[in-house]
């Protein structure tokens, strides 16, 4: 049996992972499940899967978790340090699905613990790519991408001959405002922004998809995941979300991975790798789809993508600053403090004001993240909705 730990078990990716595991309980043993603050959902999942330990990052929710797990034999823990401790319990496979920079320390702990880490936390590679990949190499940890785009590349890439790869092409749905004008986007509401046309995702990543920042962050991730240069990474808008990404080779061949827009497909690939497993996902009906459409991204209407590309090329601390400022800007938009178009403006302003040396440790990354957030918060105060 494969021993499993899920970081972020109550979120979208964590719930999809649990769905797959619970369909084949004879193949998986759940070691630990963690969540930020949803003690009720976490306890229910721990009981269903007979997990050894359940951890809630918000220590204030620990009494509720303990009460819900009373008499089950499942250990309950609370606090950020307890989340990191959970990944040191000897799992073979860890799903890293905590959203945001809150996931950085747990991901590092998982990488240092060895085994296999299935990565759904973008910030780990965006903010601390060099630090994280160095840790994976040092501890012999296998890093598997779970994002649908990177998982698609992983399936299509010939890792034995990276010199034969010409380009990696990430597809973008274009989000819900692909055809809206700039004037129309000024009035976008948070409710509209989180309503993704194809994927079921959390609020933050849905807004990132709407601004195309999500695709920019994925470019930075891809740079650290795959043996290619920054100028070998490209983005194309593909609104149907049927092709999840492509790899172009030097002979002109382009390999693509296709599938229904269901996160359980890439999760299942990472969960069973190097094998495959059955999923309940809708099967692709190409005759019904009939056509596949593509277009170039519009950098004028979606400047976040250009900001991410510039941060990738500059390297150093720039991606960490980009990510931190974007998290502040998106949270401010969701709370109603800024309008939709201000997200890119806040990120650009933060990048222009703060340019520290490249970080070489996780603590240095976190310090840069904190300072970038401070600059972004100050910029938010200048916005008028």
> 89, 113, 146 — which closes off a domain?
146
Residue 167 lies inside a defined structural domain of this protein: yes
Clarify whether residues 19 and 68 are in a common domain: yes
Clarify whether residues 92 and 217 are in a common domain: no
Contact 175, 211 (CB under 8 A): yes
Q: Which residue has the higher pLDDT, 313 or 160?
A: 313
Task: Report the pLDDT value the prediction gives residue 263, as an integer from 0 to 100.
Answer: 94
Task: Report the pLDDT value the prediction gives residue 226, as an integer from 0 to 100.
Answer: 96
Residue 15 lies inside a defined structural domain of this protein: yes
Answer whether residue 113 shows pLDDT above 90.
yes
Residue 68 sits in which domain range? 2-146
Task: Report the pLDDT value the prediction gives residue 198, as an integer from 0 to 100.
Answer: 63
Clarify whether residues 125 and 217 are in a common domain: no
Clarify whether residues 23 and 129 are in a common domain: yes
Mean per-residue pLDDT for 275-291?
Answer: 95
Place 204 in a pLDDT band, splitting at 50, 70 and 90: confident
Count Cβ atoms within 10 A of the Cβ of residue 138 and give its class: 0-12 exposed, 13-18 middle, 19 or more buried. Answer: exposed
Mean per-residue pLDDT for 129-156?
Answer: 97
Task: Report the pLDDT value the prediction gives residue 100, as an integer from 0 to 100.
Answer: 83
C-alpha–C-alpha distance, residues 175 and 195, integer Å: 9
Clarify whether residues 158 and 141 are in a common domain: no
Handedness of CA 175, 180, 186, 191 (dihedral sign): negative
What DSSP letter does each residue of 327-348 carry, written as one string? Answer: HHHHHHHHTTSS-TTHHHHHHH
- Measured in degrees and rounded to the nearest 5, phi and psi for residue 176 equal -75, -10
Residue 205 has a CB neighbour count (10 Å cut-off) of 23
Residue 344 lies inside a defined structural domain of this protein: no
Task: Report the pLDDT value the prediction gives residue 236, as an integer from 0 to 100.
Answer: 97
Mean per-residue pLDDT for 117-137?
Answer: 95
Clarify whether residues 160 and 45 are in a common domain: no
> 93, 126, 146 — which closes off a domain?
146
> 129, 146, 163 — which closes off a domain?
146
In whole angstroms, how far apart are CA 381 and each of 163, 193, 346? 48, 22, 10
Clarify whether residues 161 and 124 are in a common domain: no
Clarify whether residues 22 and 130 are in a common domain: yes
Mean pLDDT of the chain: 95
Structure tokens at 208: 């990132």
Residue 115 lies inside a defined structural domain of this protein: yes
Residue 269 lies inside a defined structural domain of this protein: no
Answer whether residue 53 shows pLDDT above 60.
yes
Clarify whether residues 68 and 197 are in a common domain: no
- Measured in degrees and rounded to the nearest 5, phi and psi for residue 297 equal -70, 150
> Does pTM surpass 0.75?
yes
Answer whether residue 101 shows pLDDT above 60.
yes
Place 199 in a pLDDT band, splitting at 50, 70 and 90: low
Task: Report the pLDDT value the prediction gives residue 93, as an integer from 0 to 100.
Answer: 98
User: Tell me: the pLDDT tens digits for 161-198?
Assistant: 999 999 999 999 988 898 899 889 888 999 998 886 66
Give the count of domains, the chain.
2
CATH number of the CATH domain containing 76 = 3.40.50.720
Answer whether residue 200 shows pLDDT above 70.
no
Task: Give one word for 158, left, alpha or beta, with left for phi > 0 and alpha for psi -120 to 50.
Answer: beta
Residue recorded with tokens 């359940």: 54
Answer whether residue 384 shows pLDDT above 60.
no
Answer whether residue 385 shows pLDDT above 60.
no
Task: Report the pLDDT value the prediction gives residue 20, as an integer from 0 to 100.
Answer: 98
User: Residue 75: beta bridge partners?
Assistant: 53
User: Tell me: the pLDDT tens digits for 324-359?
Assistant: 999 999 999 999 999 999 999 999 999 999 999 999
List b or e across 326-358, with b for residues whose CB sees 16 or more CB atoms inside 10 angstroms. bbbbbbbbbeeebbbbbbbbbbbbbbeebeeee
Answer whether residue 156 shows pLDDT above 80.
yes
List b or e across 248-281, with b for residues whose CB sees 16 or more CB atoms inside 10 angstroms. bbeeeeeebbebbbbbbbbbbbbbbbeeeeebeb
Task: Report the pLDDT value the prediction gives residue 142, as an integer from 0 to 100.
Answer: 97
Mean per-residue pLDDT for 299-305?
Answer: 95
Answer whether residue 31 shows pLDDT above 90.
yes
Clarify whether residues 89 and 231 are in a common domain: no
pLDDT > 70: percent of the chain: 98
Q: Which DSSP symbol is given to 278?
A: -
- Measured in degrees and rounded to the nearest 5, phi and psi for residue 29 equal -115, 125
């Amino acid at each position: 049996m494969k021993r499993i730990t899920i970081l972020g078990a109550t979120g979208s990716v964590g719930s999809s992972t649990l769905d797959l595991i619970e369909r084949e309980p004879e193949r998986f043993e759940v070691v630990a499940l963690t969540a930020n603050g949803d003690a009720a959902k976490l306890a229910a999942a721990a009981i269903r899967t007979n997990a050894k330990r359940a951890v809630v990052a918000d220590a204030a929710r620990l009494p509720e978790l303990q009460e819900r797990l009373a008499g089950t034999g499942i250990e309950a823990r609370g606090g950020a340090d307890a989340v990191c401790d959970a990944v040191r319990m000897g799992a073979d496979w860890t799903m890293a699905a905590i959203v945001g920079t809150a996931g950085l320390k747990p991901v590092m702990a998982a990488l240092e613990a060895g085994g296999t880490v299935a990565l759904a936390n973008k910030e780990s590679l965006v903010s601390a790519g060099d630090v994280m990949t160095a840790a994976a190499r040092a501890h012999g940890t296998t890093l598997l991408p779970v994002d649908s785009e990177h998982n698609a590349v992983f399936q299509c890439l010939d890792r034995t001959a990276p010199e034969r790869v010409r380009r990696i092409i990430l597809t973008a749905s274009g989000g819900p405002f692909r055809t809206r004008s700039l004037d129309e986007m000024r009035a976008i509401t948070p409710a509209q922004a989180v309503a993704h046309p194809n994927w079921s995702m959390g609020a933050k990543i849905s807004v990132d998809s709407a601004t195309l920042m999500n695709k920019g962050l994925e470019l930075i991730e891809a740079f650290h995941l795959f043996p290619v240069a920054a100028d070998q990474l490209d983005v194309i808008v593909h609104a149907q979300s049927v092709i999840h990404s492509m790899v172009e080779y030097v002979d002109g061949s382009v390999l693509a991975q296709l599938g229904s827009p269901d996160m359980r497909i890439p999760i299942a690939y990472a969960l069973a790798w190097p094998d495959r497993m059955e999923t309940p996902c809708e099967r692709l009906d190409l005759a019904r789809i009939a056509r596949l459409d593509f277009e170039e991204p519009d950098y004028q209407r979606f400047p976040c993508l250009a900001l991410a590309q510039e941060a990738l090329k500059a390297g150093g601390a720039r991606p960490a600053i980009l990510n931190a400022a974007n998290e502040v800007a998106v949270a401010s938009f969701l709370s109603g403090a800024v309008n939709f178009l201000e997200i890119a403006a806040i990120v650009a302003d933060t990048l222009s004001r703060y340019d520290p040396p490249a970080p070489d440790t996780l603590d240095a990354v976190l310090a840069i993240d904190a300072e970038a957030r401070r600059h972004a918060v100050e910029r938010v105060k200048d916005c008028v909705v």
